[in-house]
Amino acid sequence: MPPAECDRAKEDRNRRRKQFGPDVDAIAITREHRLYRCIIEKHVDHETKKPKPAAFDQAGMSVFVEGPGFKALNWAELLAKKKEWIAICAIDAAELLDNAALYAFELLHDPYGDEAGNQHDNHALVVCKKNSTKGTRMQQASVWQVSPPERDHPPQV
């Protein structure tokens, strides 16, 4: 991702924070946290049974977080937020933080994750400088929390 896209993702997050939630304390994301990425159909590799690396290539990649300071997530509720979401994969925050030099990402708590100010206390962003190598590494480090459905069946929650 070009640095300008990364800067734009951080600026958007900071603008939403000022507009909708200046009194909400951001929670630091640490090694003890787990990140969850909602996956759409085109990002499921049914052959390898993993998300495709492209699932991890946004400059401001939305994730949901569980761990100290965050409430437990409800998987069915999360999948119901957008009809395109069919599965959820998990990645330990430690994978990104322990390999910070390789990934060069920032993990930012972002409870106001959209332009309408809709709040989800567990929402965060993985910001920046993604490429196919990093996407592949994230793919390899991920596991299904909610497996994608077989082509003709609903997701198993």
Instruction: Please name the amino acid found at residue 152.
Output: D
Structure tokens, 128: 């920046």
Distance, first Cα to last Cα, the chain:
33
pLDDT band for position 155 (50/70/90)?
A: low
pLDDT band for position 106 (50/70/90)?
A: confident
* More confident position, 107 or 63: 63
Identify any residues that bridge with 112 across adjacent strands, giving them in sequence order: 119
Residue 153 has pLDDT above 60, yes or no: no
Residue 138 has pLDDT above 60, yes or no: yes
Residue 66 has pLDDT above 70, yes or no: yes
* More confident position, 121 or 54: 54
Residue 2 has pLDDT above 50, yes or no: yes
Instruction: Please name the amino acid found at residue 101.
Output: A
Judge if pTM exceeds 0.85: no
